[in-house]
Structure 1
Amino acid sequence: MDTTDSVPTSADTVIVGAGIVGCNLAYQLTALGRDDVVVVDQGPMPTTGGSSTHAPGIMFQTAEEKILTKFANYSRELYSELEGADGQQAYNEVGGIEVARTEERMDFLQRRVENGSAWGIEDPQILSPAEVKEKLPLVDEDVIRGGYYSPTDGQVSGVVACDALAREAMDRGATFVPHTRTEDVEFDDGAVQSVVTENGTIDCDEVVVATNIWARQLGEEIDVHLPITPVEHQYAMTESLDELADNAVDISDHPLFENYRNVSGDKAKRLLVGPDRPILRDQDHAMYYRTHGDAYGIGSYNHEPLVPDPQELGGNDPDGEQGSVHEFTDYHMENATHPDRPDKAPRRASDELVPATEGKELEYKYNGMFSETPNGLPAMGPVEGYDGLWTAAGIWVTHAGGAGKALAEWMENGVPRLDDGPIDLAHADVNRFDAHEGSWDFARDIGGEEYRIVYNIMHPKWVWTEHQRDIRRTPMYHTHEEYGAELWAEAGWEEPQWFESNADLLAKYGDRIPERDGWEAKYWSPIEGAETLNVRENVGLHDMTSFNKMEVIGDEAGEFVQYLCTNDMDIDVGDVKYTLMCNEGGGVRADITVTRTDEDRYLLLTTGREVGNNHVAWVREQSPDDVVVNDVTSSLAAMVCTGPNARKVLSKVTDVDLSDDAFPFFTSQQFYVKNVPVTALRVSYAGELGWEFYTPSEYGERLWEHIMEAGEEYDIRPYGNGALNALRIEKGFRLWGEDLHTEHNPYEAGLGWAVDLDTDFVGKDAVAAAAAGDNIDHEVACLTLDDEEAVVLADRPVLDGDETLGYVHSAEYGYTVGACVVYTYLPPEYAEPGTEVEILYEGDRYAATVREEPLVS
């Protein structure tokens, strides 16, 4: 690499970190036309000494998370186009096999096939033990039940890829500066001014923190508390094996060998050799494998979490020790220390699966580090409150190519994209984090838990049960406990999923609630169905405090709200309007209800949970100086009373006329519920007659009690998020982040009625193009399963024969319509009501039919 020892005095963009993420980002930014990009790193290049240097580079593409699979698939395609320093293709497409030791894991591998099909992985397959043996002769087929095979999986050396990416970026004008530690980022009035390094200051407009395990260190220097947690895992390479003698390779003449060895020592002669057969993963024992010439590499997550303090992480020392590597702890290889795998030591499990390694010396071994975030996804994007500050952390070699492409598009064109279109990064947005997640207590514990579950079989509804719970309580928390709430953690909030106190409703509604078993029965209770039906036929009360709430205030607040929203927002005080916010590419950034509460004041209500903070950050980013945007999520308690008897209940606690004439749909009023001041909105996400109430948090518990006491004669019941999801999906109400996000424009999502093209708003040109029918490849479709007893879950492929048409965005049983309701996006010719398709779920095909929406009017 033709790097420089001279630190430039200025640049448009500075990337801190020249590992696989920083190199990918420099490559992509320069491909988009930027030529004033400077990349600085504390280590040498291309072997910086970070995670990219010690990583074995295995790339299993298929993941439960769509964005990880899409990132990995893009990375594979990119790395396949790169030419290494030795003139060879950088990517080794040898295929990947995940084996199962149990029937439970075989079920998991079937889900792998379905996720792979949904996300576009080429030809995912289930293999028999004999078929695994055929592709991996050293595996003992007698200890496995089968395997999952992805033919396009493989391996890329982080060092080889970094070198190839950096060379191309430099050819397009980028500058790479090694041996230069970043000490600070300077700001002026919230905008990036410069990057301070140990060797000089670089004036710049943008800086990207791409330092992975060191991201928290740098973040703390600039008062940005990133929940990026370094964790250790083990990697070892055996001595030469007789069974692999024919594969012995002398790599010492590779152009990068000496550079690699200077940082990594003699293990470079193994790490630089690509595999000659499929990479292997034994998730039942949290281990993975690849060949290194005539040796086998063994990776182990099968030990207790090892979480170093990020403030104590050093860089590379003059003796060549890597800052991202700690001494190998033999104890963790020879003993069973993983809390979920207490019966078998990793080395024993490894020798069972690959008997050729039994008794062999582990010639090279180390504890390497990577980083985790609270939900296991990257932390990417512009940091709220800091103009020009971006992050790209918590990203593996496997996903770095796609992440770099998406982030570069975001920086240059305003919208994250891959080659096949926009990609929604709500769950990977750096602004998703809540204040408590920035504490080291939280990041340490949850980072360790994310490490623990990396290879566990995790249900999509699983929530933390032991660590870092009971952090955020709504004012009704203690009341919920009295009603036996099943509380789940959502962005730190303790939220009811259902209430055990409602079990008696099963006597009334049980015959309308199909039994469940298997995967779809986990983290579900029939009480959810009973609560749903009680709301439809009677009345219920739901705590919606955790939904994100913003106040927009100022003389120009009305103009700003119009600029944000797709609908005509020329509304009177007291009016409520449903509308969308779109990004620059016309993707739906959020769906919201806007209430004008005063001449210069608006209340914006949007999605809660972890994605809601992204909306708050985005609105603040768009706001002009003379408009104030306050996040009032925590200062306002919120609840909704809904159902046919809602008016009767509420009329007992207020003198306000609640009739349709006096209090029409989509209007608001401020009044008292007994002695509690409220802002009441005549809207309901449940879709029944109802009112949402907002009150200062200290009044929340009393307001809840007033309504519950008034509803006793009508048998009012509290209901949880499980029922709310069933209620909203029957009504066709979108759930942002699932069946609505930035990959959909309003017309694809069936929400064109919430757009007024006579107004000006963010993304109007792209939305107008969509209105004209441009770029409409998929349209929203509401399906019901033909089997009225069946239930499927999200993220499974929707099929026409063997052709994948789309995937399940959200699904829940519709207790009123008597069938499982599925929302998906299909090619327009398939989105017509009456069209018959199939859904692949848990290995079975379920017939489904497109329906007119809404199913419940």
Structure 2
Amino acid sequence: MSTESLPSRAETVIIGAGAVGCSVAYHLTELGAEDVVVVDQGPIPVTGGSSTHAPGIMFQTSPSKIQTKTAHYTSRLLKDAGVYTEVGGIELARSDARMDFLQRRVEWATSYGLPEPQLLDPAEVVDRLPLVNEDEILGGYYSPTDGQVAGTDALQWYMQTSPARFFGHTEVTDIESNGGEVQAVVTDNGRIECERCVLATNNWAYQTGQMAGIDLPITPVEHQYTVTEPLEELQGNEHTIGDATAGLEVPGDRQITEFMAQSPDRPVGRDQDNSLYFRTHGDGYGLGSYNHEPLVVDPNEMGTNSDESQASVHSFTKKHWTQATHPNRDKSPQQAFDELLPATEGKAFRVTENGIFVYTPDGMPVIGETAAIDGLWTGLAIWWTHSGGYGKILAEWIENGVPRLPSGPVDTSGIHVNRFEPHAGSPEYFTDRGGLRYQQVYSIVEPRWQPDDHRGLRVSPFYQHQQELGAEFYQRGGWEVPQWYEHNADLVSRYEDRIPEQDGWQSVNRSPIEGAEHLHTRENVSMFDMTTFSSIMVEGDDAGQFLQRICSNDMDIDVGQVRYTTLLNEGGTVLADLTVARLDETEYMVTTGGGNSPGIHGSWIENHAPETVSITVEESAKCTVGLWGPKSRLLLQRVTDAAVSNDDFPYFSCKRLYVGDVPVIALQVSYVGELGWELWAPSEYGQKLWTTLWEAGQDLDVRPMGSGALESMRLEKGFRLWGTDIDTDVTPLAAGVPFAVDLDTDFIGKDALVEAKESGVDTRVACLTLDESTDVMLGGRPVHKDGKAVGYVQAGDYGYSIEKSIAYTYLPSEYADAGTSVQIECEGTTYDATVRDEPLFDPGRDKIIR
């Protein structure tokens, strides 16, 4: 902690001196930032946040690439610092379903580069964890580089290593901004003017966000942990209680901080079938439990430290240990531990706590610069496990404009602070969803799993029609999105010889109707609800010049033309892929995907626009029908007086027209590789738009089409999906969309892209098809060449038109050429696959241009 007085000015102020705040400070100064100040309301380093009451266990493997990568970076950083004990981690299985899940762990770890992941039989588990009851388990998953971080030691290492200045006992009371830019952080010890501020307040994130007028959907939840009295079986284990906090100010129970800083002497363990985990503390065992009902804390009532307690440690609630209160678990934590670790049965506890940490509605961190206030950054909802990695990513993003780890740029679509839908800031919503994520943390979550609560929040104007047609709704970005329609069940028999059966994990939450809708669209005409997609209106005399500055393609287009392009960051990687339609001399409509695109892409465009250009992000303002299929022109011509022949309305063009009485902006584009239009109309006209098209197309056998069919059709055509197979971790050159780049123009990211092109593209997108099987490949599963993992599945589905199972991946360039043989590992089965030229379907675009 700094001994000087609080400065009146700093370039960067970080609020929160826990694992994340210290990591950001360390990485910022490592990159050359010279004026970094960190403040915290508690004493330093034991601030009263979760960083010193957490047991520090680090299991690195996740189905998320970025979570796994940040965990591994953190473990390497802290191991080199001497504050990480690499004892390995073992996740146990007490059910067949869990053993299948552990196989997935091996596959994810292999895909994302964790060393030597392996499955163990019961005897091998007990050899490493001798107190585990072998009769209770079926096996385990072993990751040898898992371990434990000593929180207090790690915080002190960060502070001693970084030239940043740290100030404890400094409570933030306000965050000032002016003109949409951060101005100052106000504390009870003074005001600090700054150019940028980082919120690293985790448990207090909602409250600090409110100071800046931002609703951050972050839920504090209580979590139980205990440390047993000495066990005879651990007698003689080294005891270091009293060393970690010597000379430090510690609020509340010093023993909690002491025990959490002690390193284990054997692998850390998980019993996910009972939502439990465990590790040794010298001669005792630490027992952690998610196996209780969610204990959500009012985000406005987090409070501060007192002489008796740390702010984020609540009193242990015995009933949640001795009773089965988790809605999906039959056993209490006590019963499950007694069975698994008999040596702990009946033992008293030296330490107990209900420690607090946080969850977001989707369970992922909150990273990046806020849309509302320039210079206000967030590093929130992050555990010790990932704190080093996210500190590195955030520091690179702040300093250099490119979120990255040493291994390269990272995908930010799932962690971006601006990804949340408008309703996510409602405390009722995000606390319910945060509690649900807590409840699920050790659950086996099915592919395409859907929540039951807070449904029907966002519906398109077509919702009533979709209900009548038997839509199976999936929630995406808060929208109710049809995945398929029971109305189309009769099509299954029509196409049954072209719809292979799917079984096992890959078949969960799928329907053969998706395949039938795919094939029907290829042969007839379908209506697809695109209302979740967003339009961004760019207007003004300088609109074209502005778009040229931010878009990688040549934007010198005529009125009525449409152009596909990408937005790039300073590092030349893809922020977004967009379709730009020029409606008039000074008016453009930019269309982007649904879900988190309006918040992420819309805010980026707004923040980069000059005052002479007007930006309107029309989230929910327009509804859209994708009218696709070989009969789409015939149907559209029936309902409009406008000329829609290929000569009058060619591919990648646009015009204003009327569909019946409904004013529409029509784009002749197709995301499914068929002739078709996107019909954009003001939302209040939506019901009339749907009924006009529907009634006019009955004799053409017009059908509704869901998102399941869209996915398989776009993969056949090789169209990219932002956040899945194209994102901030790749350049457009690696992503196989060089046609979206014109290097004769000037745009953000051009210099980096030119440098990447000149140095050679080491990794390229590759389209694979399975040689024999029709099984669907799942994302995150490793792709092997000559026994070595060389990539992983980005997206996969069955191509009903080409009658092949498709998987997209990125491969080293030497393996990315058509004809290369590889193998995909999925659900414990190895599949032979071959790299193919893309697109697989209609490479000459004969079906689009007709």
State the partner residue of 1:455: 442
| Counterpart residue type for residue 836 of structure 1 | S
State the Cα distance separating 1:4 from its structure 2 match. 2.8
CA distance in 2, matches of 1:633, 1:353: 51
State the Cα distance separating 1:623 from its structure 2 match. 1.2
Q: For each residue in 1:770-805, what CA deviation from the matched residue of structure 2 results, as whole angstroms up to 9, or x when unmatched? A: 332x25221010000112422211110000132110
State the partner residue of 1:86: none
State the partner residue of 2:52: 53
Equivalent pair of 1:788/1:818 in contact (CA under 8 Å): no
CA distance in 2, matches of 1:675, 1:261: 71
CA distance in 2, matches of 1:188, 1:609: 30
Does 2:87 align with 1:94? yes
CA distance in 2, matches of 1:468, 1:610: 18
Equivalent pair of 2:598/2:617 in contact (CA under 8 Å): no
State the partner residue of 1:739: 725
State the Cα distance separating 1:612 from its structure 2 match. 4.3
State the partner residue of 1:786: 771
Q: Which of these residues, 512, 528, 534, is aligned with residue 526 of structure 1?
A: 512
State the Cα distance separating 1:385 from its structure 2 match. 2.3
CA distance in 2, matches of 1:721, 1:801: 36
State the Cα distance separating 1:60 from its structure 2 match. 0.2
Q: Which of these residues, 706, 709, 718, is aligned with residue 720 of structure 1?
A: 706
State the Cα distance separating 1:418 from its structure 2 match. 0.4
CA distance in 2, matches of 1:620, 1:430: 16
State the Cα distance separating 1:271 from its structure 2 match. 2.1
Within a 5 Å distance, the mapping from 1:199-598 to structure 2 comes to 199-252=189-242, 254=243, 256-259=245-248, 261-317=250-306, 319-341=307-329, 343-464=330-451, 466-598=452-584
CA distance in 1, matches of 2:467, 2:118: 46
| Counterpart residue type for residue 402 of structure 2 | V
SS at the partner of 1:54?
A: coil
| Counterpart residue type for residue 214 of structure 2 | V
Q: For each residue in 1:34-57, what CA deviation from the matched residue of structure 2 results, as whole angstroms up to 9, or x when unmatched? A: 121000000111111100010000
Counting matched residue pairs gives 842
State the Cα distance separating 1:251 from its structure 2 match. 3.1
Change (3 A) 1:788 1:242: closer
| Counterpart residue type for residue 366 of structure 1 | E
Change (3 A) 1:813 1:255: closer
Does 2:179 align with 1:193? no
State the partner residue of 1:799: 784
Does 2:751 align with 1:765? yes
SS at the partner of 2:183?
A: strand
CA distance in 2, matches of 1:361, 1:610: 48
Percent of residue pairs bearing the same amino acid type: 52
Change (3 A) 1:262 1:631: closer
State the partner residue of 2:846: none
State the Cα distance separating 1:624 from its structure 2 match. 1.3
Q: For each residue in 1:202-240, what CA deviation from the matched residue of structure 2 results, as whole angstroms up to 9, or x when unmatched? A: 111110010001010111122100001101110000001
Q: Which 4+ runs in 1 deviate beyond 6 A?
A: none
State the Cα distance separating 1:262 from its structure 2 match. 4.8
State the Cα distance separating 1:739 from its structure 2 match. 0.8
Within a 5 Å distance, the mapping from 1:702-721 to structure 2 comes to 702-721=688-707
SS at the partner of 1:765?
A: helix
SS at the partner of 1:684?
A: coil
Q: Which of these residues, 579, 584, 587, is aligned with residue 601 of structure 1?
A: 587
State the Cα distance separating 1:260 from its structure 2 match. 6.5
| Counterpart residue type for residue 267 of structure 1 | I
CA distance in 2, matches of 1:39, 1:125: 41
Equivalent pair of 1:257/1:269 in contact (CA under 8 Å): no
State the Cα distance separating 1:135 from its structure 2 match. 0.2
Does 2:125 align with 1:132? yes
SS at the partner of 2:414?
A: helix
Equivalent pair of 1:548/1:613 in contact (CA under 8 Å): no
CA distance in 2, matches of 1:413, 1:267: 39
State the partner residue of 2:63: 64
SS at the partner of 1:617?
A: helix
SS at the partner of 1:351?
A: helix
CA distance in 1, matches of 2:753, 2:584: 30
Change (3 A) 1:595 1:356: same
SS at the partner of 1:560?
A: helix
Does 2:152 align with 1:121? no
Q: Which of these residues, 586, 599, 608, is aligned with residue 613 of structure 1?
A: 599
Equivalent pair of 1:280/1:290 in contact (CA under 8 Å): yes
SS at the partner of 2:339?
A: helix
| Counterpart residue type for residue 272 of structure 1 | A
State the Cα distance separating 1:616 from its structure 2 match. 1.0
SS at the partner of 2:379?
A: strand
Equivalent pair of 1:182/1:196 in contact (CA under 8 Å): yes
Change (3 A) 1:250 1:686: closer
Q: Which of these residues, 772, 792, 800, is aligned with residue 815 of structure 1?
A: 800
SS at the partner of 1:187?
A: strand
Within a 5 Å distance, the mapping from 1:114-193 to structure 2 comes to 114-169=107-162, 172=163, 174-193=164-183
Change (3 A) 1:260 1:236: farther
State the partner residue of 1:652: 638
State the Cα distance separating 1:554 from its structure 2 match. 1.5
CA distance in 2, matches of 1:59, 1:183: 33
Equivalent pair of 1:115/1:796 in contact (CA under 8 Å): yes
CA distance in 2, matches of 1:251, 1:3: 27
State the Cα distance separating 1:258 from its structure 2 match. 4.4
CA distance in 2, matches of 1:153, 1:819: 39
Equivalent pair of 2:552/2:567 in contact (CA under 8 Å): yes
| Counterpart residue type for residue 130 of structure 2 | P
State the Cα distance separating 1:658 from its structure 2 match. 1.4
CA distance in 1, matches of 2:37, 2:444: 42
State the Cα distance separating 1:703 from its structure 2 match. 0.5
| Counterpart residue type for residue 41 of structure 1 | D
Change (3 A) 1:479 1:682: same
SS at the partner of 1:50?
A: coil
State the Cα distance separating 1:835 from its structure 2 match. 0.4
| Counterpart residue type for residue 180 of structure 2 | G
| Counterpart residue type for residue 507 of structure 2 | A
State the Cα distance separating 1:8 from its structure 2 match. 1.1
CA distance in 1, matches of 2:381, 2:742: 40
Q: Which of these residues, 651, 654, 662, is aligned with residue 676 of structure 1?
A: 662
Change (3 A) 1:715 1:94: same
Give unpaired runs (5+ residues) of structure 1: 83-88
SS at the partner of 2:840?
A: coil
Q: For each residue in 1:361-390, what CA deviation from the matched residue of structure 2 results, as whole angstroms up to 9, or x when unmatched? A: 122101001110111111010000211100
Equivalent pair of 1:27/1:168 in contact (CA under 8 Å): yes
Within a 5 Å distance, the mapping from 1:22-37 to structure 2 comes to 22-37=21-36
CA distance in 2, matches of 1:310, 1:303: 20
Equivalent pair of 1:20/1:400 in contact (CA under 8 Å): yes
State the Cα distance separating 1:460 from its structure 2 match. 3.6
Does 2:720 align with 1:730? no
| Counterpart residue type for residue 114 of structure 2 | I
SS at the partner of 1:700?
A: helix
Q: Name the TM-score, length of structure 1 as normaliser.
A: 0.97
State the Cα distance separating 1:261 from its structure 2 match. 4.9
Equivalent pair of 2:152/2:244 in contact (CA under 8 Å): no
State the Cα distance separating 1:143 from its structure 2 match. 0.4
| Counterpart residue type for residue 467 of structure 1 | D
Q: For each residue in 1:806-849, what CA deviation from the matched residue of structure 2 results, as whole angstroms up to 9, or x when unmatched? A: 00000010000001111111011110100000000001100000
